[in-house]
């Protein structure tokens, strides 16, 4: 079946009551013809004066591209609801589908007879969409005056930025990272060369779990 807004909304409310104890606040629900994901949860966030972060404006999008059975669609909706639940409760997971996600998924599968996964073929599409969503390609630069800068690079513009950033800013050193830290949400994904100043301590804190990459202008890969 192809999902309708009425169906997704109805299922969201039903599972919210049945599985999540009614804890999930209503959110914006949308349909999309996207091929790149089955379901997607997005939200905005802002940093408060006291340093805490408020997450808000959650949007659940379900793709109409795939012809799924009703049960598969429901599993997709619940999958995204787990992301919503964890994020909304400030649970920092070990990865996009880390230990907290898996624990909750396994419990729901067991208690409610569901078949939510993160690893079968259908879900691997979802997983890669999630990874794309949750991870950032970062260029960390050292400027001529020694200050540090950051560029969150649009995936399609990495090699363009590789060439342009040094030319425009006289960058001395460029380091590349893959990060899932939500701190980087607040930076726009650059398609044109732009460097944002960042302090050394912010860098240290937020690159702690980043994966170093090697970029040579033609290829970018994980540093071994």
Contacts with Zn ion by CB under 5 A lie at 130
What is the C-alpha to C-alpha distance for residues 85 and 173, in angstroms, rounded to an integer? Answer: 40
Closer residue to Zn ion in complex, CB, 93/130: 130
Given a contact cutoff of 8 angstroms between Cβ atoms, the answer to whether 151 and 159 are in contact is: no
Closer residue to Zn ion in complex, CB, 105/198: 105
Question: Closest separation between CB of residue 133 and Zn ion, Å?
Answer: 9
Question: Closest separation between CB of residue 116 and Zn ion, Å?
Answer: 10
Question: Closest separation between CB of residue 110 and Zn ion, Å?
Answer: 19
Given a contact cutoff of 8 angstroms between Cβ atoms, the answer to whether 149 and 143 are in contact is: yes
Question: Closest separation between CB of residue 130 and Zn ion, Å?
Answer: 4
Closer residue to Zn ion in complex, CB, 126/141: 126
**Which sign, positive or negative, has the C-alpha torsion 179, 184, 188, 193?**
negative
Closer residue to Zn ion in complex, CB, 118/220: 118
Closer residue to Zn ion in complex, CB, 141/179: 179
Question: Closest separation between CB of residue 165 and Zn ion, Å?
Answer: 32
Closer residue to Zn ion in complex, CB, 95/142: 95
* DSSP string covering 45-105: EEE-TTS-EEEEEEEEEEESSS---HHHHHHHHHHHHHHHHHHHTT---SSTT-HHHHHHH
Question: Closest separation between CB of residue 92 and Zn ion, Å?
Answer: 15
Q: Provide the b/e sequence for 23-55 (b: ≥16 CB within 10 Å).
A: ebeebebebeebeebbbbbebeeeeeeeeeeeb
Tokens 């007879």 correspond to: 113
Residue sitting closest to Zn ion (CB): 130
The phi-psi region of residue 113 (left if phi > 0; otherwise alpha if psi is between -120 and 50; otherwise beta) is left
What is the C-alpha to C-alpha distance for residues 182 and 194, in angstroms, rounded to an integer? Answer: 20
């Amino acid at each position: 079946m192809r999902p309708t807004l009425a169906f997704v909304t109805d299922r969201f409310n039903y599972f919210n009551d049945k599985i999540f104890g009614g804890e999930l606040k209503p959110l914006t629900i949308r349909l999309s013809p996207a091929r790149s994901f089955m379901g997607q949860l997005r939200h905005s966030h802002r940093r408060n004066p006291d340093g805490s972060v408020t997450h808000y404006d959650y949007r659940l999008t379900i793709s109409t591209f795939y012809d799924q059975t009703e049960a598969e669609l429901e599993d997709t909706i619940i999958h995204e609801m787990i992301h919503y639940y964890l994020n909304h409760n400030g649970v920092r997971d070990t990865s996009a589908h880390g230990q907290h996600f898996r624990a909750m998924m396994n419990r729901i599968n067991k208690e409610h007879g569901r078949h939510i996964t993160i690893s079968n073929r259908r879900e691997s599409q979802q997983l890669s969409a999630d990874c794309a969503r949750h991870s950032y390609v970062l260029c960390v630069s050292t400027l001529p005056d020694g200050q540090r800068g950051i560029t969150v690079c649009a995936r399609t513009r990495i090699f363009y930025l590789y060439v342009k950033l040094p030319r425009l800013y006289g960058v001395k050193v460029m380091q590349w990272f893959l990060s899932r830290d939500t701190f980087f949400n607040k930076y726009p994904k650059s398609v044109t060369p732009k460097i944002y100043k960042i302090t050394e301590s912010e860098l240290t804190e937020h690159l702690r779990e980043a994966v170093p990459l090697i970029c040579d202008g033609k290829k970018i890969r994980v540093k071994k």
